[in-house]
Chains A and B, each alone.
Chain A
Amino acid sequence: MSDLSLETAQAATATRRPARVLDVVVLIAVVLGLWHVIGTWTHGVAIAPPLQTLVYLAGLLHTEMFWSHAAATLEAFLLAFVLSALMGLALGLIFGVRRFAGEVAEPILAGFYTIPKVTLYPVVLLLFGLGMSAKVAFGVMHGLVPMTLFTLGAVRNLPPVLVRTARVLRLSPGRTMRWVLIPACLPDIVNGLRISFSLSLLGVLIGEMFSSQRGLGFLLVNGMAQNNVPLSTAIVTVIVAIAIAANTLMLRFVRRFARRADEMAG
Protein backbone atom coordinates (compact mmCIF):
# COMPACT_ATOMS: atom_id res chain seq x y z
CA MET A 1 0.00 0.00 0.00
CA SER A 2 2.97 2.33 0.37
CA ASP A 3 2.64 3.33 -3.26
CA LEU A 4 -0.84 4.62 -2.82
CA SER A 5 -0.53 5.95 0.68
CA LEU A 6 1.73 8.72 -0.54
CA GLU A 7 -1.05 10.11 -2.69
CA THR A 8 -3.15 10.59 0.39
CA ALA A 9 -0.32 11.68 2.67
CA GLN A 10 -1.44 15.26 2.29
CA ALA A 11 -5.02 14.40 3.06
CA ALA A 12 -3.90 12.76 6.28
CA THR A 13 -2.08 15.85 7.51
CA ALA A 14 -5.10 17.93 6.69
CA THR A 15 -5.52 19.17 10.22
CA ARG A 16 -3.02 21.91 9.42
CA ARG A 17 -3.93 25.55 9.50
CA PRO A 18 -5.63 26.90 6.39
CA ALA A 19 -3.45 29.11 4.22
CA ARG A 20 -3.76 32.84 4.58
CA VAL A 21 -5.93 34.54 1.98
CA LEU A 22 -3.09 36.88 1.03
CA ASP A 23 -0.74 33.95 0.36
CA VAL A 24 -3.30 32.23 -1.83
CA VAL A 25 -3.87 35.42 -3.80
CA VAL A 26 -0.12 35.82 -4.25
CA LEU A 27 0.17 32.22 -5.41
CA ILE A 28 -2.59 32.59 -7.99
CA ALA A 29 -1.02 35.83 -9.18
CA VAL A 30 2.36 34.09 -9.56
CA VAL A 31 0.84 31.20 -11.54
CA LEU A 32 -1.08 33.55 -13.83
CA GLY A 33 1.99 35.77 -14.17
CA LEU A 34 4.21 32.83 -15.18
CA TRP A 35 1.58 31.62 -17.60
CA HIS A 36 1.33 35.09 -19.10
CA VAL A 37 5.10 35.47 -19.37
CA ILE A 38 5.55 32.09 -21.07
CA GLY A 39 2.60 32.83 -23.36
CA THR A 40 3.81 36.24 -24.52
CA TRP A 41 7.48 35.41 -24.43
CA THR A 42 7.03 32.58 -26.92
CA HIS A 43 4.65 34.73 -28.98
CA GLY A 44 1.85 32.29 -28.39
CA VAL A 45 3.34 29.44 -30.43
CA ALA A 46 2.76 26.97 -27.61
CA ILE A 47 0.60 28.49 -24.90
CA ALA A 48 -1.89 31.31 -25.22
CA PRO A 49 -1.69 33.93 -22.45
CA PRO A 50 -4.36 33.63 -19.73
CA LEU A 51 -6.55 36.51 -20.85
CA GLN A 52 -6.61 35.38 -24.47
CA THR A 53 -7.37 31.84 -23.32
CA LEU A 54 -10.28 32.99 -21.20
CA VAL A 55 -11.76 35.05 -24.02
CA TYR A 56 -11.34 32.14 -26.41
CA LEU A 57 -12.82 29.76 -23.88
CA ALA A 58 -15.87 31.97 -23.39
CA GLY A 59 -16.46 31.81 -27.12
CA LEU A 60 -15.75 28.08 -27.21
CA LEU A 61 -18.37 27.41 -24.57
CA HIS A 62 -21.00 28.76 -26.95
CA THR A 63 -20.14 26.36 -29.76
CA GLU A 64 -21.96 23.10 -30.27
CA MET A 65 -18.71 21.49 -31.41
CA PHE A 66 -17.16 21.90 -27.96
CA TRP A 67 -20.15 20.49 -26.13
CA SER A 68 -20.39 17.43 -28.35
CA HIS A 69 -16.72 16.63 -27.69
CA ALA A 70 -17.14 17.36 -24.00
CA ALA A 71 -20.18 15.10 -23.89
CA ALA A 72 -18.18 12.28 -25.52
CA THR A 73 -15.44 12.60 -22.91
CA LEU A 74 -17.91 12.92 -20.08
CA GLU A 75 -19.83 9.84 -21.17
CA ALA A 76 -16.70 7.71 -21.49
CA PHE A 77 -15.33 9.04 -18.23
CA LEU A 78 -18.52 8.55 -16.22
CA LEU A 79 -18.87 5.00 -17.48
CA ALA A 80 -15.23 4.25 -16.71
CA PHE A 81 -15.42 5.85 -13.28
CA VAL A 82 -18.63 4.17 -12.21
CA LEU A 83 -17.39 0.79 -13.45
CA SER A 84 -14.03 1.27 -11.69
CA ALA A 85 -15.70 2.36 -8.48
CA LEU A 86 -18.24 -0.43 -8.28
CA MET A 87 -15.93 -3.21 -9.44
CA GLY A 88 -13.10 -1.88 -7.28
CA LEU A 89 -15.34 -1.70 -4.23
CA ALA A 90 -16.57 -5.25 -4.76
CA LEU A 91 -13.10 -6.66 -5.44
CA GLY A 92 -11.61 -4.73 -2.54
CA LEU A 93 -14.23 -6.03 -0.12
CA ILE A 94 -13.73 -9.60 -1.32
CA PHE A 95 -9.93 -9.39 -1.10
CA GLY A 96 -10.16 -7.60 2.24
CA VAL A 97 -12.39 -10.19 3.85
CA ARG A 98 -10.77 -13.21 2.19
CA ARG A 99 -7.30 -12.60 3.56
CA PHE A 100 -5.50 -15.23 1.54
CA ALA A 101 -7.05 -14.14 -1.75
CA GLY A 102 -6.01 -10.61 -0.82
CA GLU A 103 -2.43 -11.68 -0.19
CA VAL A 104 -2.33 -13.42 -3.54
CA ALA A 105 -3.88 -10.54 -5.45
CA GLU A 106 -2.28 -7.48 -3.86
CA PRO A 107 1.22 -7.70 -5.37
CA ILE A 108 -0.27 -8.33 -8.81
CA LEU A 109 -2.50 -5.28 -8.46
CA ALA A 110 0.30 -3.14 -7.05
CA GLY A 111 2.57 -4.25 -9.87
CA PHE A 112 -0.07 -3.40 -12.44
CA TYR A 113 -0.45 0.02 -10.83
CA THR A 114 3.19 0.95 -11.49
CA ILE A 115 3.61 -0.24 -15.09
CA PRO A 116 3.27 2.13 -18.05
CA LYS A 117 -0.25 1.14 -19.07
CA VAL A 118 -0.11 3.25 -22.24
CA THR A 119 1.90 0.53 -23.89
CA LEU A 120 -1.13 -1.73 -23.48
CA TYR A 121 -3.47 0.65 -25.25
CA PRO A 122 -2.92 -0.98 -28.66
CA VAL A 123 -4.09 -4.26 -27.17
CA VAL A 124 -7.21 -2.52 -25.87
CA LEU A 125 -7.80 -1.08 -29.31
CA LEU A 126 -7.32 -4.47 -30.93
CA LEU A 127 -9.76 -6.02 -28.48
CA PHE A 128 -12.43 -3.35 -28.41
CA GLY A 129 -11.95 -1.54 -31.69
CA LEU A 130 -11.76 2.20 -32.13
CA GLY A 131 -14.47 4.02 -30.26
CA MET A 132 -16.20 4.51 -26.99
CA SER A 133 -15.69 1.05 -25.51
CA ALA A 134 -11.89 1.17 -25.93
CA LYS A 135 -11.75 4.51 -24.11
CA VAL A 136 -13.94 3.21 -21.31
CA ALA A 137 -11.87 0.04 -21.00
CA PHE A 138 -8.69 2.06 -20.82
CA GLY A 139 -10.22 4.34 -18.20
CA VAL A 140 -11.20 1.30 -16.14
CA MET A 141 -7.67 -0.11 -16.48
CA HIS A 142 -6.44 3.05 -14.74
CA GLY A 143 -9.21 3.53 -12.22
CA LEU A 144 -9.99 0.00 -11.08
CA VAL A 145 -6.73 -0.89 -9.34
CA PRO A 146 -6.47 2.07 -6.94
CA MET A 147 -10.11 1.67 -5.92
CA THR A 148 -9.53 -2.03 -5.23
CA LEU A 149 -6.33 -1.43 -3.28
CA PHE A 150 -7.83 1.33 -1.14
CA THR A 151 -10.91 -0.70 -0.26
CA LEU A 152 -8.76 -3.73 0.47
CA GLY A 153 -6.50 -1.67 2.72
CA ALA A 154 -9.47 -0.14 4.52
CA VAL A 155 -10.99 -3.50 5.34
CA ARG A 156 -7.68 -5.06 6.29
CA ASN A 157 -6.63 -2.18 8.56
CA LEU A 158 -9.92 -2.10 10.37
CA PRO A 159 -9.13 -2.14 14.11
CA PRO A 160 -10.08 -5.65 15.29
CA VAL A 161 -11.45 -4.14 18.49
CA LEU A 162 -14.28 -2.56 16.47
CA VAL A 163 -15.36 -5.95 15.17
CA ARG A 164 -15.09 -7.39 18.66
CA THR A 165 -17.16 -4.53 20.04
CA ALA A 166 -19.82 -5.25 17.45
CA ARG A 167 -19.85 -8.86 18.59
CA VAL A 168 -20.04 -7.89 22.26
CA LEU A 169 -23.02 -5.68 21.43
CA ARG A 170 -24.46 -8.68 19.56
CA LEU A 171 -25.04 -6.78 16.33
CA SER A 172 -26.32 -8.80 13.40
CA PRO A 173 -23.92 -9.13 10.43
CA GLY A 174 -26.03 -6.64 8.49
CA ARG A 175 -25.90 -4.07 11.27
CA THR A 176 -22.19 -4.71 11.81
CA MET A 177 -21.72 -3.90 8.14
CA ARG A 178 -23.95 -0.82 8.21
CA TRP A 179 -23.06 0.62 11.61
CA VAL A 180 -19.43 -0.40 11.98
CA LEU A 181 -17.61 -1.62 8.87
CA ILE A 182 -18.79 0.91 6.30
CA PRO A 183 -18.49 4.00 8.53
CA ALA A 184 -15.03 2.86 9.62
CA CYS A 185 -13.87 2.31 6.04
CA LEU A 186 -15.57 5.33 4.51
CA PRO A 187 -12.64 7.80 4.58
CA ASP A 188 -10.39 5.29 2.81
CA ILE A 189 -13.09 4.41 0.33
CA VAL A 190 -13.61 8.08 -0.52
CA ASN A 191 -9.86 8.44 -0.92
CA GLY A 192 -9.95 5.48 -3.30
CA LEU A 193 -12.75 7.18 -5.23
CA ARG A 194 -10.67 10.33 -5.42
CA ILE A 195 -7.62 8.61 -6.92
CA SER A 196 -9.81 6.42 -9.10
CA PHE A 197 -11.59 9.52 -10.40
CA SER A 198 -8.34 11.20 -11.46
CA LEU A 199 -6.85 8.12 -13.03
CA SER A 200 -9.90 7.00 -14.98
CA LEU A 201 -10.10 10.55 -16.35
CA LEU A 202 -6.43 10.29 -17.31
CA GLY A 203 -7.05 6.93 -18.99
CA VAL A 204 -9.96 8.25 -21.04
CA LEU A 205 -8.02 11.36 -22.08
CA ILE A 206 -4.93 9.39 -23.13
CA GLY A 207 -7.19 7.10 -25.14
CA GLU A 208 -8.70 10.10 -26.89
CA MET A 209 -5.31 11.64 -27.52
CA PHE A 210 -3.88 8.52 -29.11
CA SER A 211 -6.59 7.55 -31.49
CA SER A 212 -10.05 8.96 -31.49
CA GLN A 213 -12.06 11.40 -33.49
CA ARG A 214 -14.04 12.65 -30.55
CA GLY A 215 -13.59 13.99 -27.06
CA LEU A 216 -11.55 16.67 -25.34
CA GLY A 217 -8.33 14.66 -25.65
CA PHE A 218 -8.81 14.55 -29.41
CA LEU A 219 -9.62 18.26 -29.48
CA LEU A 220 -6.40 19.00 -27.61
CA VAL A 221 -4.17 17.04 -29.96
CA ASN A 222 -6.09 18.35 -32.95
CA GLY A 223 -5.70 21.93 -31.77
CA MET A 224 -1.96 21.28 -31.54
CA ALA A 225 -1.82 19.77 -35.00
CA GLN A 226 -3.67 22.69 -36.56
CA ASN A 227 -1.60 25.24 -34.67
CA ASN A 228 -4.72 26.42 -32.90
CA VAL A 229 -2.89 27.37 -29.72
CA PRO A 230 -5.80 29.09 -27.93
CA LEU A 231 -7.93 25.98 -28.46
CA SER A 232 -5.40 23.57 -26.94
CA THR A 233 -4.63 25.94 -24.07
CA ALA A 234 -8.34 26.38 -23.40
CA ILE A 235 -8.91 22.61 -23.35
CA VAL A 236 -6.03 22.05 -20.93
CA THR A 237 -7.42 24.83 -18.72
CA VAL A 238 -10.89 23.29 -18.67
CA ILE A 239 -9.57 19.82 -17.82
CA VAL A 240 -7.27 21.08 -15.07
CA ALA A 241 -10.05 23.20 -13.57
CA ILE A 242 -12.51 20.31 -13.54
CA ALA A 243 -9.95 17.89 -12.10
CA ILE A 244 -8.97 20.25 -9.29
CA ALA A 245 -12.58 21.15 -8.48
CA ALA A 246 -13.66 17.51 -8.26
CA ASN A 247 -10.63 16.57 -6.21
CA THR A 248 -11.13 19.47 -3.81
CA LEU A 249 -14.73 18.48 -3.25
CA MET A 250 -13.81 14.89 -2.45
CA LEU A 251 -10.90 15.98 -0.25
CA ARG A 252 -13.30 18.13 1.78
CA PHE A 253 -15.44 15.08 2.29
CA VAL A 254 -12.48 12.95 3.40
CA ARG A 255 -11.32 15.65 5.79
CA ARG A 256 -14.69 16.02 7.38
CA PHE A 257 -14.54 12.35 8.23
CA ALA A 258 -10.94 12.56 9.36
CA ARG A 259 -11.74 15.48 11.64
CA ARG A 260 -14.69 13.68 13.11
CA ALA A 261 -12.47 10.67 13.78
CA ASP A 262 -9.90 12.96 15.42
CA GLU A 263 -12.52 14.52 17.65
CA MET A 264 -13.72 11.11 18.68
CA ALA A 265 -10.17 10.03 19.47
CA GLY A 266 -9.18 13.22 21.29
Chain B
Amino acid sequence: MRRRRAAFVVRAAILAALIAMLEVGCRTGAIDPLTVIPPSDMVASMVGQIGSGELDASIVSTFSTILIAFVLAVILGIATGATIHRFARLRDVADPLLASYYSVPTFIFYPLLVALLGLGKAPLVVLGILSAVPAVVISTLSGLDSVAPVLMKVARVHRLTAARTLWWIVLPAALPHLFTGFKLALSYALIGVIAGEFILSGSGLGYAISFAYQSFDNRTMYGAMLFVLLVAVIANGILYMWEGRLARRRSRG
Protein backbone atom coordinates (compact mmCIF):
# COMPACT_ATOMS: atom_id res chain seq x y z
CA MET B 1 0.00 0.00 0.00
CA ARG B 2 2.81 2.33 0.91
CA ARG B 3 4.68 1.33 -2.19
CA ARG B 4 1.63 2.00 -4.28
CA ARG B 5 1.32 5.46 -2.84
CA ALA B 6 5.01 6.10 -3.51
CA ALA B 7 4.52 4.99 -7.11
CA PHE B 8 1.55 7.33 -7.36
CA VAL B 9 3.56 10.26 -6.06
CA VAL B 10 6.48 9.58 -8.40
CA ARG B 11 4.10 9.19 -11.31
CA ALA B 12 2.36 12.48 -10.54
CA ALA B 13 5.73 14.17 -10.14
CA ILE B 14 6.97 12.88 -13.51
CA LEU B 15 3.82 14.01 -15.29
CA ALA B 16 3.95 17.40 -13.59
CA ALA B 17 7.61 17.78 -14.53
CA LEU B 18 6.88 16.93 -18.16
CA ILE B 19 4.10 19.49 -18.30
CA ALA B 20 6.31 22.09 -16.64
CA MET B 21 9.14 21.39 -19.09
CA LEU B 22 6.74 21.77 -21.98
CA GLU B 23 5.49 25.04 -20.55
CA VAL B 24 9.01 26.41 -20.06
CA GLY B 25 10.12 25.15 -23.46
CA CYS B 26 7.23 26.91 -25.16
CA ARG B 27 7.61 30.13 -23.18
CA THR B 28 11.34 30.40 -23.84
CA GLY B 29 10.91 29.65 -27.52
CA ALA B 30 12.86 26.39 -27.40
CA ILE B 31 9.74 24.77 -28.84
CA ASP B 32 8.26 26.33 -31.94
CA PRO B 33 4.90 27.91 -30.97
CA LEU B 34 3.58 26.91 -34.39
CA THR B 35 4.07 23.29 -33.36
CA VAL B 36 3.02 23.12 -29.73
CA ILE B 37 1.43 25.80 -27.59
CA PRO B 38 2.14 26.08 -23.85
CA PRO B 39 -0.02 23.78 -21.67
CA SER B 40 -1.43 26.78 -19.81
CA ASP B 41 -2.68 28.16 -23.14
CA MET B 42 -4.23 24.78 -23.94
CA VAL B 43 -6.14 24.88 -20.68
CA ALA B 44 -7.16 28.49 -21.25
CA SER B 45 -8.33 27.65 -24.76
CA MET B 46 -10.29 24.65 -23.51
CA VAL B 47 -11.95 26.64 -20.74
CA GLY B 48 -12.69 29.45 -23.16
CA GLN B 49 -14.28 27.17 -25.73
CA ILE B 50 -16.42 25.42 -23.14
CA GLY B 51 -17.39 28.70 -21.48
CA SER B 52 -18.38 30.36 -24.73
CA GLY B 53 -20.54 27.38 -25.64
CA GLU B 54 -18.95 27.01 -29.06
CA LEU B 55 -18.22 23.35 -28.32
CA ASP B 56 -21.73 22.57 -27.04
CA ALA B 57 -23.10 21.25 -30.31
CA SER B 58 -20.01 19.10 -30.89
CA ILE B 59 -20.11 17.73 -27.35
CA VAL B 60 -23.77 16.78 -27.58
CA SER B 61 -23.32 15.26 -31.00
CA THR B 62 -20.22 13.22 -30.09
CA PHE B 63 -21.38 11.92 -26.74
CA SER B 64 -24.86 11.02 -27.92
CA THR B 65 -23.27 9.03 -30.76
CA ILE B 66 -20.93 7.27 -28.34
CA LEU B 67 -23.77 6.52 -25.95
CA ILE B 68 -26.01 5.06 -28.64
CA ALA B 69 -23.16 2.96 -30.02
CA PHE B 70 -22.21 1.77 -26.53
CA VAL B 71 -25.73 0.77 -25.50
CA LEU B 72 -26.38 -1.04 -28.77
CA ALA B 73 -22.98 -2.76 -28.55
CA VAL B 74 -23.75 -3.98 -25.02
CA ILE B 75 -27.16 -5.35 -25.99
CA LEU B 76 -25.88 -6.94 -29.19
CA GLY B 77 -22.73 -8.24 -27.54
CA ILE B 78 -24.47 -9.90 -24.61
CA ALA B 79 -27.07 -11.49 -26.87
CA THR B 80 -24.39 -12.76 -29.25
CA GLY B 81 -22.13 -13.95 -26.44
CA ALA B 82 -24.93 -15.81 -24.67
CA THR B 83 -26.01 -17.46 -27.93
CA ILE B 84 -22.48 -18.56 -28.78
CA HIS B 85 -22.00 -19.85 -25.25
CA ARG B 86 -25.18 -21.89 -25.47
CA PHE B 87 -24.22 -23.78 -28.63
CA ALA B 88 -20.82 -25.49 -28.54
CA ARG B 89 -20.77 -25.98 -32.28
CA LEU B 90 -21.34 -22.30 -32.92
CA ARG B 91 -18.56 -21.52 -30.53
CA ASP B 92 -16.05 -23.71 -32.34
CA VAL B 93 -16.63 -21.49 -35.37
CA ALA B 94 -16.84 -18.22 -33.48
CA ASP B 95 -13.68 -18.62 -31.40
CA PRO B 96 -11.17 -18.23 -34.24
CA LEU B 97 -13.28 -15.39 -35.65
CA LEU B 98 -13.18 -13.50 -32.38
CA ALA B 99 -9.47 -14.17 -32.05
CA SER B 100 -8.73 -12.52 -35.38
CA TYR B 101 -11.31 -9.74 -35.10
CA TYR B 102 -8.92 -7.53 -33.18
CA SER B 103 -6.30 -7.85 -35.85
CA VAL B 104 -8.60 -6.33 -38.47
CA PRO B 105 -8.34 -2.54 -38.46
CA THR B 106 -12.12 -2.10 -38.20
CA PHE B 107 -11.65 1.55 -38.88
CA ILE B 108 -10.99 1.00 -42.59
CA PHE B 109 -14.64 0.04 -42.99
CA TYR B 110 -15.63 3.58 -42.11
CA PRO B 111 -15.41 5.04 -45.64
CA LEU B 112 -17.58 2.18 -46.87
CA LEU B 113 -20.09 2.88 -44.08
CA VAL B 114 -20.21 6.54 -45.01
CA ALA B 115 -20.91 5.63 -48.62
CA LEU B 116 -23.56 3.18 -47.50
CA LEU B 117 -25.34 5.25 -44.86
CA GLY B 118 -24.48 8.82 -45.83
CA LEU B 119 -22.41 11.33 -43.91
CA GLY B 120 -23.99 11.68 -40.48
CA LYS B 121 -24.61 9.91 -37.21
CA ALA B 122 -25.48 6.51 -38.65
CA PRO B 123 -22.04 5.46 -39.99
CA LEU B 124 -20.42 6.70 -36.77
CA VAL B 125 -22.81 4.67 -34.65
CA VAL B 126 -22.13 1.57 -36.73
CA LEU B 127 -18.38 2.17 -36.53
CA GLY B 128 -18.67 2.56 -32.75
CA ILE B 129 -20.63 -0.69 -32.51
CA LEU B 130 -18.15 -2.54 -34.73
CA SER B 131 -15.31 -1.36 -32.49
CA ALA B 132 -17.05 -2.14 -29.21
CA VAL B 133 -19.03 -5.32 -29.81
CA PRO B 134 -16.23 -7.90 -29.77
CA ALA B 135 -15.12 -6.79 -26.29
CA VAL B 136 -18.65 -7.38 -24.99
CA VAL B 137 -18.97 -10.73 -26.76
CA ILE B 138 -15.64 -11.99 -25.45
CA SER B 139 -16.30 -10.81 -21.92
CA THR B 140 -19.77 -12.36 -21.95
CA LEU B 141 -18.21 -15.65 -23.01
CA SER B 142 -15.48 -15.55 -20.39
CA GLY B 143 -18.01 -14.40 -17.78
CA LEU B 144 -20.30 -17.34 -18.51
CA ASP B 145 -17.30 -19.67 -18.59
CA SER B 146 -16.26 -18.41 -15.19
CA VAL B 147 -19.47 -19.45 -13.41
CA ALA B 148 -18.25 -22.34 -11.24
CA PRO B 149 -20.08 -25.59 -12.02
CA VAL B 150 -20.51 -26.14 -8.28
CA LEU B 151 -22.65 -22.99 -8.09
CA MET B 152 -24.93 -24.41 -10.76
CA LYS B 153 -25.22 -27.52 -8.57
CA VAL B 154 -26.10 -25.27 -5.63
CA ALA B 155 -28.86 -23.78 -7.76
CA ARG B 156 -30.25 -27.24 -8.37
CA VAL B 157 -30.00 -28.24 -4.73
CA HIS B 158 -32.02 -25.12 -3.89
CA ARG B 159 -34.42 -25.99 -6.71
CA LEU B 160 -34.14 -22.56 -8.33
CA THR B 161 -36.05 -21.85 -11.52
CA ALA B 162 -34.07 -21.05 -14.66
CA ALA B 163 -34.84 -17.33 -14.33
CA ARG B 164 -33.74 -17.22 -10.71
CA THR B 165 -30.59 -19.20 -11.47
CA LEU B 166 -29.75 -16.60 -14.10
CA TRP B 167 -30.56 -13.64 -11.88
CA TRP B 168 -29.17 -14.89 -8.57
CA ILE B 169 -26.19 -16.97 -9.67
CA VAL B 170 -25.08 -16.61 -13.29
CA LEU B 171 -25.30 -12.81 -13.55
CA PRO B 172 -23.56 -11.94 -10.29
CA ALA B 173 -20.90 -14.60 -10.91
CA ALA B 174 -20.19 -13.26 -14.38
CA LEU B 175 -20.42 -9.59 -13.42
CA PRO B 176 -16.71 -8.79 -13.01
CA HIS B 177 -15.99 -10.09 -16.52
CA LEU B 178 -19.01 -8.30 -17.94
CA PHE B 179 -17.95 -5.07 -16.32
CA THR B 180 -14.47 -5.30 -17.85
CA GLY B 181 -16.18 -5.83 -21.18
CA PHE B 182 -18.39 -2.77 -20.72
CA LYS B 183 -15.41 -0.67 -19.75
CA LEU B 184 -13.52 -1.70 -22.86
CA ALA B 185 -16.62 -1.30 -25.01
CA LEU B 186 -17.00 2.28 -23.85
CA SER B 187 -13.41 3.18 -24.56
CA TYR B 188 -13.43 1.44 -27.94
CA ALA B 189 -16.70 3.14 -28.90
CA LEU B 190 -15.18 6.46 -27.90
CA ILE B 191 -12.02 5.82 -29.94
CA GLY B 192 -14.01 4.63 -32.95
CA VAL B 193 -16.50 7.49 -32.99
CA ILE B 194 -13.93 10.24 -32.48
CA ALA B 195 -11.61 8.72 -35.08
CA GLY B 196 -14.51 8.59 -37.53
CA GLU B 197 -15.41 12.21 -36.88
CA PHE B 198 -11.79 13.14 -37.26
CA ILE B 199 -11.25 11.54 -40.65
CA LEU B 200 -14.55 12.14 -42.38
CA SER B 201 -17.50 13.91 -40.83
CA GLY B 202 -19.25 17.25 -40.56
CA SER B 203 -19.77 17.48 -36.83
CA GLY B 204 -18.55 16.37 -33.44
CA LEU B 205 -15.41 16.88 -31.38
CA GLY B 206 -13.17 14.86 -33.68
CA TYR B 207 -14.31 17.01 -36.57
CA ALA B 208 -13.71 20.18 -34.53
CA ILE B 209 -10.08 19.17 -33.94
CA SER B 210 -9.53 18.17 -37.53
CA PHE B 211 -11.18 21.40 -38.78
CA ALA B 212 -9.02 23.53 -36.51
CA TYR B 213 -5.94 21.70 -37.77
CA GLN B 214 -6.87 22.23 -41.42
CA SER B 215 -7.42 25.95 -40.75
CA PHE B 216 -4.10 26.30 -38.88
CA ASP B 217 -5.91 27.32 -35.69
CA ASN B 218 -3.54 25.65 -33.24
CA ARG B 219 -5.01 27.27 -30.17
CA THR B 220 -8.52 25.96 -30.81
CA MET B 221 -7.15 22.60 -31.87
CA TYR B 222 -5.13 22.08 -28.71
CA GLY B 223 -8.00 23.22 -26.49
CA ALA B 224 -10.46 20.77 -28.06
CA MET B 225 -7.85 18.03 -28.05
CA LEU B 226 -7.16 18.52 -24.37
CA PHE B 227 -10.87 18.36 -23.64
CA VAL B 228 -11.32 15.07 -25.51
CA LEU B 229 -8.28 13.50 -23.88
CA LEU B 230 -9.32 14.66 -20.41
CA VAL B 231 -12.82 13.24 -20.85
CA ALA B 232 -11.39 9.94 -22.09
CA VAL B 233 -8.89 9.69 -19.26
CA ILE B 234 -11.41 10.63 -16.57
CA ALA B 235 -14.10 8.27 -17.90
CA ASN B 236 -11.62 5.40 -18.12
CA GLY B 237 -10.24 6.24 -14.71
CA ILE B 238 -13.66 6.13 -13.05
CA LEU B 239 -14.52 2.82 -14.69
CA TYR B 240 -11.11 1.45 -13.77
CA MET B 241 -11.68 2.35 -10.13
CA TRP B 242 -15.15 0.81 -10.10
CA GLU B 243 -13.74 -2.32 -11.63
CA GLY B 244 -11.04 -2.42 -8.98
CA ARG B 245 -13.58 -2.06 -6.20
CA LEU B 246 -15.69 -4.85 -7.68
CA ALA B 247 -12.68 -7.10 -7.98
CA ARG B 248 -11.28 -6.27 -4.55
CA ARG B 249 -14.37 -7.42 -2.75
CA ARG B 250 -14.00 -10.79 -4.42
CA SER B 251 -10.30 -11.31 -4.03
CA ARG B 252 -8.33 -11.98 -0.90
CA GLY B 253 -7.00 -9.16 1.20
Contacts and interface: CB of A to CB of B under 8 A. Distances in A.
Interface stretch (B53-61, B71-79, B135-143, B166-174): B135-143
Given A10-B99, A123-B36, A104 B93 contact: no
A105 B18 CA distance: 14
B179 to A, nearest CB: 10
B103 A100 contact: no
How big is the B interface, by class? 35 or more
B102 to A, nearest CB: 5
A218 to B, nearest CB: 11
Contacts of B225: 119-120, 122-123
Contacts of A127: 35-36
Interface in A56-81: none
Interface stretch (A83-91, A110-118, A169-177): A110-118
B152 to A, nearest CB: 19
Nearest to A255: B99
12 contacts: A27-B97, A108-B11, A115-B191, A115-B236, A118-B195, A122-B213, A197-B103, A206-B195, A209-B108, A210-B198, A224-B111, A236-B109
A265 interface: no
Interface of A: 2-3, 6-7, 9-11, 13-14, 16-20, 23-24, 27, 38, 42, 45-47, 100, 103-105, 107-108, 111, 114-123, 125-127, 194-195, 197-198, 201-202, 205-206, 209-210, 217, 220-221, 223-224, 229, 232-233, 235-236, 239-240, 243-244, 246-248, 251
B112 A47 contact: yes
Contacts of A217: 108
B93 A19 contact: yes
Interface of B: 3-4, 6-7, 10-11, 14-15, 34-36, 89, 91-93, 95-100, 102-105, 107-109, 111-116, 135, 138-139, 141-142, 145, 180-181, 183-184, 187, 190-191, 194-195, 198-200, 206, 209-210, 213, 218, 221, 225, 228-229, 232-233, 236-237, 243
B34 A23 contact: no
Contacts of A3: 183-184
Contact of A11 (B34, B99, B115): B99
A97 to B, nearest CB: 16
B95 A220 contact: no
Contact of A119 (B35, B100, B229): B229
Contacts of B3: 100, 103
Contact of B229 (A9, A115, A197, A236): A115
Nearest to A235: B108
Contacts of B35: 123, 126-127
CB-CB nearest 3 A-B residue pairs: A247-B103, A46-B116, A46-B115
Contacts of A108: 11, 15
B144 to A, nearest CB: 12
A4 to B, nearest CB: 10
B184 A221 contact: no
Contact of B93 (A23, A107, A126, A195): A23
B139 A240 contact: no
Contacts of B103: 194, 197-198, 243-244, 246-247
